[in-house]
Structure 1
Amino acid sequence: MHTSLTADDVVDPTRLDGATAQAVVTELIMIYDADGGLRGELAYGWGKLRRTAHCSLCSITHGLVRERRSWADWRCSVPVPVEALHRNERSPEVEEITGDRTPCVLACVDGAWVFVLGPGELDACDGDVDVFANVLAASLERAELSFPDGS
């Protein structure tokens, strides 16, 4: 169970000090910049066709209609649970932390959510799972965070 946080309680990974060195990530949440459900999926698909909707996390995780095999393989290789949510599936706690900064990636550290990647970093991945994995690893390293296996 995660603690209830306000946006002020969220740890800024760029400001972690030695006291929290190598804090352990126990879960990752990926938030798409799109709503889920039939209506949300259709709206995103229509927007994508019209070039008025873009979600860089969607480009990383999905091909035209289904999850990319490379994404599924990466997700299975990560030593913590990885959950992907749409904007309208966020808990109030996660919504308060992410606000309109989607797509994004949050890490759970000591029961608190840490914002680790935002729209700019995900957009820079250009839909490439390997680039995403490297960008995430670099962000976690800068924040002195690691997975339980030390990676």
Structure 2
Amino acid sequence: MTDPSVIRRLIGVYHADGGLRGELAYVVGKVRGTASCALCDITHGAFGRRRQWRDLLPELGVPVELVHLNERSAPVRAASEGRTPCVLAVTDGGHLPLLGPDELTGLDGDVARFAEALRAAAGRAGLRWESAD
């Protein structure tokens, strides 16, 4: 049974390319002050994925996929083009933006505030978590 109001999974799109070249370009740009990604600030610290981020994932109750600009599928590209970083909800009705660059930047890298903002955005969009069935 399909239900377009149920979040099946989340996709976070970084505002950076993946791969060695992309990661290196981002790090250099970050140091120079010419590159930024608010989603990176939420998910990563100086030494890799933040513990708070890893702890949040099971609490969300749905799979979370993180992709770079050059790793996006066609539906993710269509839903996120020109609006990265962002977080998309995947429902039976398609890919829906939940948090965009302005909302993510306003969280200042805080994982707890991210979780609150994500849940609030889902509520405003009339979406519910798959595990809440």
Assess same fold via TM > 0.5.
yes
Residue-pair matches, total: 131
Alignment of 1:17-96 (within 5 A): 23-96=5-78
TM-score when scaled to structure 2? Answer: 0.93
Structure 1 residue 65, shift from structure 2 partner? 3.0
Quick one: distance in 1 between partners of 2:11 and 2:86?
Answer: 8
TM-score when scaled to structure 1? Answer: 0.82
| 8 Å CA contact 2:4, 2:91 repeated in 1 | no
CA RMSD, aligned part only?
Answer: 1.6
Quick one: distance in 2 between partners of 1:133 and 1:53?
Answer: 24
Of residues 120, 124, 130, the one that matches 2:106 is: 124
Unaligned runs of 5+ in 1: 1-20
| Structure with the greater alpha carbon radius of gyration | 1
1:142 partner letter: R
The alignment-based identity, stated in percent, is 50
Unaligned runs of 5+ in 2: none
2:124 partner letter: R
Structure 1 residue 91, shift from structure 2 partner? 0.8
CA offsets, 1:3-60, max 9 Å, x none? Answer: xxxxxxxxxxxxxxxxxx9911001000000110000000000000001000000000
1:103 is the counterpart of 2:85: yes
Quick one: distance in 1 between partners of 2:4 and 2:96?
Answer: 14
